Structure 1
Amino acid sequence: MTIDPAVLITLRPQPYAAIRAAVRDGDILLCSATDMFSRLIRWATKSPWSHVAIAFRMDDIDRVMVLECVEKLGVRAVPLSSFIARTSNGTEPYPGKILLARHRGMGAKARRKPMKKMAGFAFDRLGDRFSHVETLRIALRIVLGRFRKRLHPSLGPRNEFICSEYLARCFEAVGVKIPWDGLGFIAPADFASDPRVDAVAQIQT
């Protein structure tokens, strides 16, 4: 079912250790933050969701890694402990709330091999960086998204993404489509609105 924003109030935050143990490959981290870029996305989507990322377990080295696409830096990977402690620009404590969510399409054991395909796409994008021009293009798409306008092809994502477009591409790599209206941009709120995405736990930040 669609994730109600009220879950950030009704779902008691769980400590890091409990969350770390519960994370599965392909889990979604939905964020509601208050920094400037987050406020822009929340304004554009009229929702509390400002950022989204994806988690993978690396049990051989005893790590849970989070992959995300952030302004200025592009695509990066950070340990879950760092992701929930501070923003991409180093602001700490994290200025907002974070929800661990899970797409039902990723739960079947039969997805073990497709999961490798998803991880392959996600990790292959690491290090992609944005120029100032690309960052401005992203900001323009977000503003236009507020008014649900269809974008000119020249403004569509190329090799630069906002977080939710990057994540949608990760899911597309294994044939999972995140529904959206085709206007503006795929937003963090579209993940929360997908009836196949369930809230697992709120993370204590």
Structure 2
Amino acid sequence: MAIDAHVLQTLKPQPYAALRGEVRDGDILLCSATDGFSRLIRWATKSPWSHVALAYRLDEVDRVLVLECVDKIGVRAVPLSTFLARTSSGTSPYPGQILLARHTGLAAKSRARPWTKMAAFAFERLGDRFSGAEIVKIGLRIALGRFRRKMPKSLGPKDEYICSEYVARCFHTIGLEIPWDGLGFVAPADIANAPRVEAVALFKT
């Protein structure tokens, strides 16, 4: 159904404690932040969305983890409470808004529990760090997206991603594709605009 463009204005923010129990494996966290790199993503995509991540529950130890790909660090996992409290660079409080969203196609596949395959890919990437050349490639993809230029194969992601490329690749492992126009990079806005992604709730940050 895609995320309504005005969702950040229409949904009432709810505290972490109220929403923690609602989070499901493979849920999407869409962010609209105002720090420097976030502004770059929003500028490139002409959208409110600057970052995206995935949530997984570890009920055995009573934890909800967020898997994300961030600049200078690569792929990492942090507790949901930490993700909501500050940015990857340590800015606190979080400078923006965070939406809990869900891909309905994942629920439709739940009988076979395919998210385990998706989780395996997501967790296997943990600790991947970017080289300087990979960061340059990411920057070029962002610039191409802003100016609506088709991305050459030589600039495509291999083991280095921006956040939304990482999330899209995770869904790809179980046959759920995130539609995009092939210009520049798969952006957080592409995930928000995917026809089977819907808003669940807005976190209070």
Give the Cα separation in 2 of the matches to 1:74 and 1:87: 14
Distance 1:30 1:111, change over 3 A: farther
What is the CA distance between 1:111 and its match in structure 2? 4.4
Please say if residues 75 and 127 of structure 2, whose CA atoms lie closer than 8 Å, have aligned partners that are also in contact: yes
Q: TM-score, normalised on structure 1?
A: 0.97
What is the CA distance between 1:21 and its match in structure 2? 0.6
State the aligned residue count.
205
* 1:121 matches 2:121: yes
Alignment of 1:1-205 (within 5 A): 1-108=1-108, 110-205=110-205
Q: Which runs of 5+ in 1 are unaligned?
A: none
Give the Cα separation in 2 of the matches to 1:96 and 1:176: 28
Please say if residues 35 and 95 of structure 2, whose CA atoms lie closer than 8 Å, have aligned partners that are also in contact: yes
Q: In angstroms, what is the RMSD of aligned CA positions?
A: 1.0
Which runs of structure 1 show a deviation greater than 6 angstroms over 4 or more consecutive aligned residues?
none
Give the Cα separation in 2 of the matches to 1:108 and 1:140: 36
Moved more, 81-90 or 104-113: 104-113
Q: Which runs of 5+ in 2 are unaligned?
A: none
Distance 1:80 1:112, change over 3 A: farther
Distance 1:22 1:67, change over 3 A: same
Alpha-carbon displacement from aligned partner over 1:41-100 (angstroms, at most 9, x marks no partner): 101100000000000010001000000000000000000000000000110000000000
What is the CA distance between 1:109 and its match in structure 2? 6.2
Q: TM-score, normalised on structure 2?
A: 0.97
Alpha-carbon displacement from aligned partner over 1:104-134 (angstroms, at most 9, x marks no partner): 0111363453111000000000000011221
Matched to 1:30, the amino acid is L
Matched to 1:20, the amino acid is R
Matched to 1:165, the amino acid is E
What is the CA distance between 1:23 and its match in structure 2? 0.1
Give the Cα separation in 2 of the matches to 1:2 and 1:195: 5
